[in-house]
């Protein structure tokens, strides 16, 4: 954290004095009595413009002003020189918000502010193209289109570029869009033949060194970090345990009064209605379907009570108009409003302050929970309030480990405890992102009208964003694109777009590096059971859970998005099946185990939650899981590794390749129709190997097409990319080795 003086110091006053007088006047007229820490500390380094800067602080802490007060001072000094700042946002809605905010500030400075995305009029864009100066607010997708279309004129268009500001930087990191953005910034600097100051605005992350490296690859240590003090905001948390009624086979499951799942959800609806009416709040279920369910039930409750509706849905599949209605309801002050939403409202869209945040089921990650809580308690002196709900099922003779150990409840408790200690997941492993490399290669060919393989390798890999790819894999990728008639090489050695490539690049969908998650059709014996998104790696013999049943995979067609299944044997399914598509981190599972091992009370659980946790701890001790990490369970074997999903998915695939029937249940791995001795034999053999090849493991996976352009990749590049992003072979072997060594030490100790 930058060591900077407090607001009242002479040094801070000098920082304020460095701002343009018109900006100082705007600050006083806005009623500010002082600058916040990050705003003061950012002035000098940003005005200097000779280094990259990250401004890290919680939501609504003034990060935008921290960046733009000194940037606009620099632009205002330019006189007739056409200086430009590029503001890059993950959302069009956020651009619209910032456009309104910046126009108020820039009006007296006579600095133009231009939003640039698909909904902006052509006249505004034309005005900027004629006079490229001021603030250009743009998404990565629109920037991609600009780079391709402007081509040789980019030098003039971006010639005055002084700064690039990346808002909500944490939302880009580790993703296809993030890799696209890194490549775009490299391409811009290559066109300008100079380095441009980059400023990242982000929530505080668990790995700020990773954030620095993201902002300026290979030069992360040179990036200056300005991390605002949190200010010791009070956090109030209550996790409520919700116990489903006992299932009775003689009742109609379609009758809401008899369906245990719907009865439990009705209890949550009643509690939300009682606790949230009369104030602004955000409610986060873990799926779009759940958003619709709770929004509908709460709206109907308002109708039944003959009061104005206060509950509004918000998720990515809704139309722009419906999302904007929800955002408008939150902003207006006349009638309180609560949004039932997905992660669409995690980012910094201006919706005003909310009183509390509700979480139904565990959040996707600790970092996500922190981002969501940043919306609550934004007014001075107000606490951030979290109310969470953990639905659990009554225990029975056939209950499995997830139910016995109350996995959903314990994961929620673990994430809250890690949050209060200031731990958040580090940035996901970079991966090769070969899909985005395809897009960037085609974009560069289009931008330059043709390019040599050596220059393409230099701009994208050697000195570009895709440093993890070897020259051999890059050559294979180009050969694969040529074999698919997307590119070709002319007699001079220049790579050009073939007609198929021109068609791909000419469609507006090309500019996005990501695609929305596609759903697989689940088919059994020729009958379609329904559809669902699938993120876990699948091979024949693995399992999916759908419609409340376990199904064994027969085959997977990635091209047709079809999974053929047959009914799978097994006991009762756990109520909790993980946090959707989220990959749970090792540290979260370690914390879950630490909670189960102790009898220390958890102060933020209600009475039902406390009783459920007590049950879980009793079962943990009864199963002797402190020592017995591999257990016979009837005809199955259970492995309790207490590791994240990367390691557990890797081990699951290894066991499947050895002929076992394995499934990752989150808190444990299940190996069907086997014995402890059989599984232990494979594990000991695995531990004895010098190395395990993750690419060979990836070759067995049948649903590897995860990113937008994966279908264009040759098999060797696809396998390498999947392994880099989704598997941890070394971690899996190290985990098993530690467990085997610990077992040997215990036996030796007992023998002595």
Q: Give the DSSP letter string of 356-400.
A: EEEEES--S-HHHHHHHHTTBS-STTPPEEEEEEEEE----TT--
Assess contact for 94 and 139: CB atoms under 8 A: no
User: Is 611 a member of any domain?
Assistant: no
Same domain? For 392 and 467 the reply is no
- What confidence score (pLDDT) does residue 7 get? 39
Q: How far apart are CA 214 and CA 478, in angstroms?
A: 26
DSSP-derived 3-state class of residue 8:
coil
Give the structural domain span for 651. 519-580+627-751
Nearest Cα neighbor of 660 from 694, 692, 685, 691 is 685
List Cα–Cα distances, 481 to 193, 273, 699, 700, in angstroms. 29, 55, 20, 23
For residue 169, the domain's CATH number is 3.40.50.300
Q: How far apart are CA 563 and CA 554, in angstroms?
A: 8
Q: Which stretches of the chain drop beneath a pLDDT of 70?
A: 1-13, 59-60, 204, 229-232, 247-258, 317, 346-350, 429-430, 516-518, 547-548, 569-581, 752
User: Is 587 a member of any domain?
Assistant: no
Same domain? For 382 and 269 the reply is yes
List Cα–Cα distances, 244 to 250, 267, 570, in angstroms. 17, 10, 22
If you compute the radius of gyration of the chain from its CA atoms, what whole number of angstroms results? 27
The pLDDT tens digits for 211-255 are 999 999 999 999 999 988 655 678 999 999 999 988 666 655 555
Buried b (16+ CB within 10 A) or exposed e, 571-599: ebbbbbebbeebbbbbbbbebbbebbeee
Q: How far apart are CA 214 and CA 226, in angstroms?
A: 16
Q: How many domains does the chain have?
A: 4
Nearest Cα neighbor of 536 from 649, 640, 655, 430 is 649
Around Cβ 51, how many Cβ atoms within 10 Å? 16
List Cα–Cα distances, 395 to 400, 403, 404, 571, 633, in angstroms. 9, 7, 7, 13, 17
For residue 482, the domain's CATH number is 1.10.10
Same domain? For 330 and 197 the reply is no
Same domain? For 414 and 494 the reply is no
Q: How far apart are CA 490 and CA 495, in angstroms?
A: 7
Residue showing tokens 């030796």? 748
Give the end of a domain, one of 511, 539, 571: 511
Give the end of a domain, one of 511, 534, 555: 511
User: Is 600 a member of any domain?
Assistant: no
User: Is 607 a member of any domain?
Assistant: no
Around Cβ 398, how many Cβ atoms within 10 Å? 10
User: Is 361 a member of any domain?
Assistant: yes
- What confidence score (pLDDT) does residue 11 get? 46
Q: How far apart are CA 729 and CA 691, in angstroms?
A: 8
Assess contact for 604 and 412: CB atoms under 8 A: no
Cβ within 8 Å of residue 146, ≥6 positions away: 116, 138, 154, 157
DSSP per position, 474-507: HHHHHHHHHHTTSEEE-TTS-EEE-HHHHHHHHS
DSSP-derived 3-state class of residue 172:
coil
582 φψ region: left (φ > 0), alpha (ψ -120 to 50), beta (else):
beta
Cβ within 8 Å of residue 238, ≥6 positions away: 386, 387, 388, 604, 605, 606
Same domain? For 397 and 455 the reply is no
Q: Which helix (H) or strand (E) holds 551?
A: strand 549-557
Around Cβ 371, how many Cβ atoms within 10 Å? 23
- What confidence score (pLDDT) does residue 4 get? 40
Nearest Cα neighbor of 429 from 708, 727, 648, 223 is 727
Same domain? For 15 and 93 the reply is yes
User: Is 476 a member of any domain?
Assistant: yes
Assess contact for 224 and 2: CB atoms under 8 A: yes
Same domain? For 201 and 266 the reply is no
Same domain? For 564 and 712 the reply is yes
Same domain? For 653 and 544 the reply is yes
Same domain? For 178 and 40 the reply is yes
User: Is 532 a member of any domain?
Assistant: yes
Same domain? For 360 and 470 the reply is no
Give the end of a domain, one of 207, 227, 247: 227
Same domain? For 277 and 413 the reply is yes
- What confidence score (pLDDT) does residue 376 get? 81
- What confidence score (pLDDT) does residue 268 get? 96
Q: How far apart are CA 749 and CA 738, in angstroms?
A: 16
User: Is 189 a member of any domain?
Assistant: yes
């Amino acid at each position: 954290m930058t060591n900077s003086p407090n607001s009242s110091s002479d040094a801070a006053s000098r920082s304020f004095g460095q701002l343009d007088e018109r900006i100082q006047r705007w600050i006083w007229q806005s009623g500010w009595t002082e600058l916040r820490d990050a705003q003061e500390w950012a002035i000098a380094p940003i005005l200097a413009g000779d280094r990259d800067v990250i401004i890290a602080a919680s939501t609504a802490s003034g990060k935008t002003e921290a960046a733009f007060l000194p940037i606009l001072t620099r632009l205002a000094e330019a006189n007739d020189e056409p200086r430009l700042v590029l503001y890059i946002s993950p959302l069009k809605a956020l651009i619209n918000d910032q456009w309104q905010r910046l126009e108020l500030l820039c009006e007296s400075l006579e600095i133009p502010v231009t939003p640039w995305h698909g909904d902006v009029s052509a006249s505004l864009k034309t005005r900027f193209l004629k006079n490229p100066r001021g603030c250009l607010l743009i998404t990565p997708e629109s920037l991609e289109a600009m780079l391709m279309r402007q081509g040789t004129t980019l030098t003039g268009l971006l010639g005055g570029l002084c700064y690039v500001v990346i808002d909500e930087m944490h939302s880009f990191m580790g993703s296809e869009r993030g890799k696209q953005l890194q490549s775009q910034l490299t391409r811009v600097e290559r066109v300008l033949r100079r380095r441009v100051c980059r400023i990242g605005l982000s929530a505080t992350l668990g790995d700020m060194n990773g954030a620095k490296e993201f902002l300026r690859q290979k030069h992360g240590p040179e990036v200056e970090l300005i991390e605002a003090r949190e200010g010791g905001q009070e956090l109030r948390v209550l996790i409520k345990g919700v116990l489903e009624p006992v299932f009775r086979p003689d009742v109609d499951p379609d009758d809401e009064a008899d369906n245990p799942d719907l009865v439990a959800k009705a209890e949550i609806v009643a509690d939300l209605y009682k606790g949230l009416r009369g104030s602004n709040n955000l409610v986060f279920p873990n799926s779009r379907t759940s958003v619709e369910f709770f929004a509908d039930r709460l709206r109907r409750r308002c109708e039944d009570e003959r009061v104005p509706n206060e509950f509004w849905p918000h998720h990515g599949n809704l139309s722009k108009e419906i999302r904007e209605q929800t955002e408008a309801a939150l902003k207006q002050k006349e009638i309180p409003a609560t949004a039932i939403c997905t992660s669409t409202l995690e980012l910094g869209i201006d919706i005003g302050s909310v009183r509390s945040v509700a979480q139904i089921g565990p959040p996707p990650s600790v970092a996500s929970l922190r981002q969501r809580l940043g919306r609550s308690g934004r007014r001075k002196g107000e606490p951030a309030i979290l109310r969470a709900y953990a639905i659990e099922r009554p225990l029975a003779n056939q209950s499995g480990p997830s139910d016995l150990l109350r996995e959903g409840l314990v994961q929620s408790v673990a994430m809250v405890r890690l949050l209060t200690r200031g731990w958040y997941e580090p940035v996901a492993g970079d991966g090769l992102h070969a899909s985005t490399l395809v897009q960037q290669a085609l974009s560069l060919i289009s931008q330059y009208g043709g390019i040599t393989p050596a220059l393409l390798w230099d701009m994208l890999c050697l000195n570009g964003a895709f440093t993890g790819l070897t020259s051999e894999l890059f050559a294979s990728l180009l050969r694969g694109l040529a074999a698919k008639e997307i590119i070709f090489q002319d007699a001079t050695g220049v790579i050009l777009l073939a007609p198929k490539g021109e068609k791909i690049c000419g469609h507006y969908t090309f500019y996005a590096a990501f695609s929305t998650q596609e759903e697989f059709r689940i088919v059994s014996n020729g009958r379609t059971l329904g559809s669902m998104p699938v993120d876990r790696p699948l091979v024949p013999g693995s399992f999916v859970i759908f419609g409340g049943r376990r199904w064994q995979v027969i085959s997977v067609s990635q091209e047709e998005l079809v999974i053929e299944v047959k009914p799978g044997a097994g006991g009762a399914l756990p109520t909790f099946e993980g946090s959707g598509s989220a990959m749970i981190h090792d540290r979260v599972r370690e914390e879950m185990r630490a909670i189960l091992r102790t009898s220390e009370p958890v102060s933020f659980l209600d009475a039902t939650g406390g009783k459920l946790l007590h049950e879980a701890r009793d079962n943990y001790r009864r199963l002797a899981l402190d020592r017995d990490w591999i257990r016979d369970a009837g005809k199955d074997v259970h492995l309790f590794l207490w590791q994240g999903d990367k390691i557990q998915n890797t081990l699951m695939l290894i066991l499947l390749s050895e002929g076992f029937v394995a499934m990752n249940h989150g808190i444990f791995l299940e190996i069907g129709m086997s014995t402890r001795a059989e599984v232990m034999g494979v594990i000991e053999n695995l531990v004895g190997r010098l190395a395990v090849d993750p690419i060979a493991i990836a070759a067995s996976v049948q649903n590897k097409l995860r990113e937008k352009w994966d279908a264009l990749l040759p098999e060797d590049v696809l396998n390498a990319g999947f392994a880099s992003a989704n598997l941890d072979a070394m971690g899996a072997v190290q985990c098993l080795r530690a467990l085997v060594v610990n077992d040997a030490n215990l036996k030796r100790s007992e023998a002595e």
